[in-house]
Chain A
Amino acid sequence: MNLNVLWEYANPVKFMRTTERMLPFFWISAAACLVVGLVWGFFFTPEDYRQGSTVKIIYLHVPSALMAINCWLMMLVTSLVWLIRRHHVSALAAKAAAPIGIVMTLIALATGAIWGQPMWGTWWAWDPRLTSFLILFLFYLGYVALWEAIDNPDTAADLTSVLCLVGSVFALLSRYAVNFWNQGLHQGASLSLDKEENVADVFFLPLLVCIAGFVLLFIALVFYRTGTEIRARRMKALLARERVGA
């Protein structure tokens, strides 16, 4: 496969034309997976012998936490593309993804706290994974604030890209904290290639469908929001040209 084909999508017109054709597929399949996965998980899975019915929160908590981290990693890749190759679409894709990351992190933190209250006896603990996730959330807020605070879009893209590189430490820490920090309340990863460590099959299959739903929703939102950012940028340029011409 020729990877150079990917660079064609740095052209905003080509990017928008292609993603607009793909968007109906992503919206519909995301909605289908989310409805099937959540209905399956909520109505048709048993209680866990230790957690009781709170195990059903896994269908929201795990996919949202996964997307919170992967959204930042996607922003890291697009930020690097901006810094190295100066493709505006990649900088705008990172900008478009950040609010999605905020919502995913918020869902992961909220569902974790709601689950933690009856299971751990507390809403919050300064556990390595929880703390690194909270810091990741603050990085997301800072990232969005930085884009809004700077008028020049290229300067904003440069500075937010650097912030994204720094924040990646916490994104990785959030992902791997449970593996190398043997302290804190948070249990090990729910998903593992090791069958012994994985959640039981009865919970695993609907969880996989929910994860697919969150991934597809993320792609649909990023495509749509990037298109909006491209139009907003073009509109700004046209208005500036109109002002100069007047």
Chain B
Amino acid sequence: MPDLGKYADTVLSAYAASIVLLVLLVVLTLWRGRKVRAEMAKLEARMPRNG
């Protein structure tokens, strides 16, 4: 860990806030993508019987 001196809190909080936001964005993107993909597969499997 580098010596951040008197600004340690400032630098660490900027990194923490940014990394949390970036990780949240990626996780939510992948989560929604998988959810839609699963629902789509279920629907397409059902369609030939109905169509």
Chain A interface residues (CB < 8 Å from chain B) = 38, 42-43, 47, 52-54, 56-57, 60-61, 64, 99-100, 103, 106-107, 110-111, 114-115, 117-118, 217, 221, 224-225, 227-228, 231-232, 234-235, 238-239, 242, 245-246
Contact = CB atoms under 8 A, between A and B. Distances in A.
A232 B26 contact: no
Nearest to B30: A224
Contact of B11 (A53, A64, A217, A232): A53
A12 to B, nearest CB: 13
Nearest to B6: A52
Contacts of A52: 5-7
Interface in B1-51: 2-8, 10-11, 13-15, 17-18, 21-22, 24-26, 29-30, 32-33, 36-37, 39-40, 43-44, 46-47, 50-51
A110 B14 contact: yes
Contacts of A43: 2
Contact of A242 (B4, B37, B47): B47
Contacts of A234: 40
Contacts of A99: 25
21 contacts: A43-B2, A52-B5, A54-B11, A56-B4, A57-B10, A57-B14, A107-B17, A110-B14, A110-B18, A110-B21, A111-B18, A114-B13, A221-B25, A224-B29, A231-B37, A235-B40, A239-B43, A242-B43, A242-B46, A242-B47, A242-B50
Contacts of B6: 52
A224 B32 CA distance: 10
Contact of A221 (B14, B29, B46): B29
Task: Please indicate which of the listed interface residues A60, A99, A242 has the most CB atoms of chain B within 10 Å of its own CB.
Answer: A60
Nearest to B25: A103
A227 B21 contact: no
Contacts of B24: 103
SS class, residues of chain B in contact with chain A: helix
A159 to B, nearest CB: 23
A225 B34 CA distance: 11
Contacts of B10: 54, 57, 114-115, 117-118
A100 B28 CA distance: 11
A228 B32 contact: yes
Given A103-B21, A115-B14, A54 B29 contact: no
Contacts of A224: 29-30, 33
B47 to A, nearest CB: 6
Q: Which 4 A-B pairs have the closest CB atoms?
A: A53-B4, A228-B33, A60-B18, A114-B14
A10 to B, nearest CB: 21
